[in-house]
Amino acid sequence: MADDVILFSKPYRTAREASNLEQVLASGHIHGDGAFTCEAAAKVSGLVGGGATLLTTSCTHALEMASILAEVNAGDEVILPSFTFSSAATALALRGARIVFADIDPLTGNTSADIIEPLITPRTKAISIVHYAGVGADIERISALARERGILLIEDNAHGLGGSVKGKRLGSFGEFATQSFHDTKNIHCGEGGAIVVNAEAFRERAEIIREKGTNRARFLRGQVDKYTWVDLGSSYLPS
């Protein structure tokens, strides 16, 4: 590599990856929701203000889960910043939604409540925002606007993990928040993500969607004697 090349990102390594992997292999539990998964989910939950955190295979999949949980369907409108990653749009397009793009403030890269409000119509089902480059969006006003209009809020917090606005953690404002652990992020596992479910009413269904549409999580907790297919879903949990 040429000496004058400045790397956009370099995945961080500690000294513990190999020994942790040996622990996983020695445990015999290498499928989803093992000890390391649970520990990581708890740490993420602490960083985003306590929401229920489910690790996923990517932030893309977390956004897809949020769209299903929000019951976004064909004909619904979802407001989305014009400056964001493609996954935020594809998660909505897969549900048949009409995406309404909101402009951004060129100083921050984020959209604002003033830009969003004129775009709201009776068909608006959700607002999906991003905290770009670690800068909290106009989130207090956007979340207040969403509550006032009865619209669900999805926070794409891939860039905002650990950040806050006036002492309130980014990722704790919306009904749902999503995280990325791609190797360009500050905390990574190569490819990975998480959905944070802040609204209690959606938490059980989030577990079901993540487990291929089954109530397997309830079975593993001993709440039912067998598990079965009960809803939409896919295989969203990581190894």
Active site residues: 185
Which positions ≥6 away from 192 have C-beta within 8 Å?
Answer: 55, 56, 57, 58, 180, 181, 182, 238
Give dist(CA 235, CA 61) in Å, integer: 9
Long-range Cβ contacts of 227-235 (<8 Å, 24+ apart): 231/205, 232/68, 233/68, 233/208, 233/209, 234/61, 234/64, 234/209, 235/57
What DSSP line would sit under 6-70, residue for residue? Answer: PPS------S-HHHHHHHHHHHT--SSS-HHHHHHHHHHHHHTTS-EEEEES-HHHHHHHHHHHT
The beta-strand segments (E) located in 29-175 are 52-56, 77-81, 98-102, 124-130, 152-156, 164-165, 168-169
Query: Which among 17, 2, 44, 74 has a CA at the least distance from the CA of 178?
Result: 44
**What's the number of CA atoms in the CB half-sphere (13 Å) around residue 126?**
31
Residue that is written with structure tokens 């404002």 in the block? 173
